[in-house]
């Protein structure tokens, strides 16, 4: 009886206002134990995952970074970046405790009352670099996504100390700092195949001149099959380091219109190539479409670190890549223009990169 009443009451509310503007997020909705999702979250059938397209025979590579000095590992990393655009790394040097702590901190932030989280919304946040929100671009979306997030753009240690929410800032900063070595190692390896011998100051700014860490929260959903956690998209980063918990639900585009699950592996990090590196490598490394399904029985968290060019950098195919006479596929674009283009519209798969195509 009670849940039915809740359901009919919610139909007459302005759900979008409750979720998006009042700071309750989808977590607030999930906690009402609705019998079904409000219509705003129902995705068109073509955007829901089709079980017949999920393949289990193939899987993205799992690479052991402990053997980085040997010839094999570098080859595996570059091959995975060319073929899949995704791989997992183990023995990457980031301590397990650091990973566990940032997941716990994520749960702690989202457990705060709506009033507290709302202080970090676009309208209320004291800084552009701290943003609590829901879905992806609610104002531009036909259907909302079943996800809340806190996005933290790293400006400086001092700014983070002053402005990042105290329940998660130390853990988020520690995870970012401890990941820097593996990020550099991966970029060095990936650059070598592109004829870039070293990451000097200029290349550092181009490849890893800015960092953003997102804390993602996917609450339990009453109709996971009708909605999505995150719609089909590719990241706009150079590369993304993603920590997921043990729930699962991340799918990557495989060959011939298939989807491949990225199974949670305790202690591993998922690495994916973003659009900026696809562009800089002139299409050699692939920024691959991915999506997250909603879950009917567990709350899921994930914590991506987006390693990006500095927003003021102009990105395009690297001279070292074109040196052999290869035709450029992409033009030179200001990275902040590229990012703004991405965030202005709803997720639409691989279409973002069209912005940079010649
Ligand atoms: C220079 C920028 C590009 C623009 O700065 P700005 O002009 O001061 O404006 P804002 O920082 O307020 O952001 C511009 C717009 O992008 C939106 N945005 C700005 N970051 C965000 C944000 N993490 N979240 C969701 N809206 C945002 C933001 O809402 C805003 O929308 P609007 O005010 O409606 O025009 C600034 O954002 C910046 O320094 N970016 C650094 C590079 C960067 O963060 N790159 C993005 C990596 S994120 C990535 O690869 C994937 C992220 C992703 C995220 C969610 C998914 O579901 C899937 C993927
Ligand atoms: O939650 C995940 O597993 C992936 C999230 C994602 O793709 C993103 O934040 O860009
Ligand atoms: Fe992503």
pLDDT tens digits, the chain, 358 residues: what are they? Answer: 334 434 444 555 688 888 888 889 999 999 998 889 988 889 888 888 888 889 888 899 999 999 898 889 999 999 999 999 999 999 999 999 999 999 999 999 999 999 999 999 999 999 999 999 998 887 887 889 999 999 999 999 999 999 999 999 999 999 999 999 999 999 999 999 999 999 999 999 999 999 999 999 999 999 999 999 999 999 999 999 999 999 999 999 998 889 999 999 999 999 999 999 999 999 999 999 999 999 999 999 999 999 999 999 999 999 999 998 999 999 999 999 999 999 888 777 888 899 999 9
Q: Which residue lies with its CA nearest to atom 9 of ligand 2?
A: 304
- Atom nearest to 262 CA in ligand 2: 3
Q: According to the model, what pLDDT value does residue 295 have?
A: 96
The number of beta carbons lying within 10 Å of the beta carbon of residue 227 is 25
Ligand nearest to the CA of 208: 1
What's residue 3's pLDDT? 43
The residue to mutate among 232, 290, 347, having the most atoms of ligand 2 within 8 angstroms of its beta carbon, is 290
Cβ pair 184, 63 in contact under 8 A? no
CB atoms within 10 A of CB 263: 14
**What's residue 176's pLDDT?**
98
314 CA from centroid of ligand 1 (Å): 17
- 18 CB-near residues (< 8 Å, 6+ apart): 24, 28, 29
- Residue 46: Cβ within 10 Å count: 7
Whether 234 lines ligand 1, by a CB cut-off of 6 Å, is: no
**Which residue in 129, 137, 148, 162 sits closest to 306, CA to CA?**
129
Angle at which helices 96-110 and 169-192 pack, to 10 degrees? 130
Cβ of 88 closer than 6 Å to ligand 1, yes or no, is no
Assess contact for 276 and 237: CB atoms under 8 A: yes
Q: Give the pLDDT of residue 189.
A: 97
Q: What angle do CA 253, 257, 258 make, to 5 degrees?
A: 60
235 lines ligand 1 (CB under 6 A): yes
Strands (E), the chain: 62-64, 86-90, 130-134, 148-154, 210-218, 230-233, 239-244, 250-253, 259-261, 269-273, 290-292, 300-308, 314-315, 333-334
DSSP code of residue 328: P
Angle (CA) 305 333 47, round 5°: 55
**Residue 141 corresponds to which tokens in the numbers above?**
């979306």
- Is the CB of residue 21 below 6 angstroms from any atom belonging to ligand 1? no
Judge contact between 292 and 304, C-beta under 8 A.
Answer: no
Ligand 2 surroundings by CB, under 6 angstroms: 214, 216, 230, 235, 242, 244, 250, 290, 292, 302, 304
Cβ of 251: how many Cβ atoms within 10 Å?
21
């Amino acid at each position: 009886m009670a849940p039915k009443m809740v359901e009919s009451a919610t139909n007459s509310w302005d759900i979008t206002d409750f979720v998006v503007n009042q700071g309750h997020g989808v977590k607030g909705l999930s906690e009402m134990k609705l019998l079904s999702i409000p219509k705003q979250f129902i995705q068109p059938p073509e955007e829901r995952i089709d079980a017949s397209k999920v393949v289990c025979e193939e899987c993205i590579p799992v690479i052991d970074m402990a053997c980085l000095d040997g010839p094999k590992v570098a080859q595996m990393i570059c091959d995975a970046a060319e073929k899949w655009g995704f791989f997992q790394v183990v023995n990457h040097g980031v301590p397990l405790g650091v990973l566990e702590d940032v997941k716990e901190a994520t749960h702690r932030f989202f457990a705060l009352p709506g009033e507290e989280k709302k202080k970090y919304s676009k309208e209320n946040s004291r800084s552009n670099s701290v943003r609590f929100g829901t879905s992806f671009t609610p104002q531009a979306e036909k259907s909302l996504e079943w996800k809340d997030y806190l996005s933290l753009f790293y400006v400086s240690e001092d700014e983070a100390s002053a402005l990042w929410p105290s329940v998660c800032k130390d853990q988020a900063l520690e995870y970012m700092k401890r990941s820097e070595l593996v990020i550099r190692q991966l970029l060095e390896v990936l650059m070598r195949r592109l004829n870039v011998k070293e990451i000097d100051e200029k290349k550092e700014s181009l490849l890893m001149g800015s960092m953003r860490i997102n804390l993602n929260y996917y609450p339990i959903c009453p109709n996971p099959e009708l909605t999505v956690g995150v719609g089909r998209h590719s990241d706009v980063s150079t590369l993304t380091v993603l920590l997921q918990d043990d729930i699962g639900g991340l799918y990557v585009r495989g060959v011939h219109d298939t989807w491949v699950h990225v199974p949670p592996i305790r202690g591993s990090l998922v690495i994916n190539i973003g659009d900026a590196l696809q562009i800089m490598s002139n299409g050699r490394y692939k920024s691959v479409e991915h999506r997250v399904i909603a879950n009917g029985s567990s709350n899921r968290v994930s914590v991506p670190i987006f390693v990006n060019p500095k927003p003021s950098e102009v990105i395009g195919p690297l001279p070292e890549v074109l040196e052999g006479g290869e035709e450029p596929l992409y033009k030179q674009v200001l990275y902040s223009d590229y990012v703004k283009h991405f965030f202005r519209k709803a997720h639409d798969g691989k279409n973002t990169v069209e912005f940079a195509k010649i």
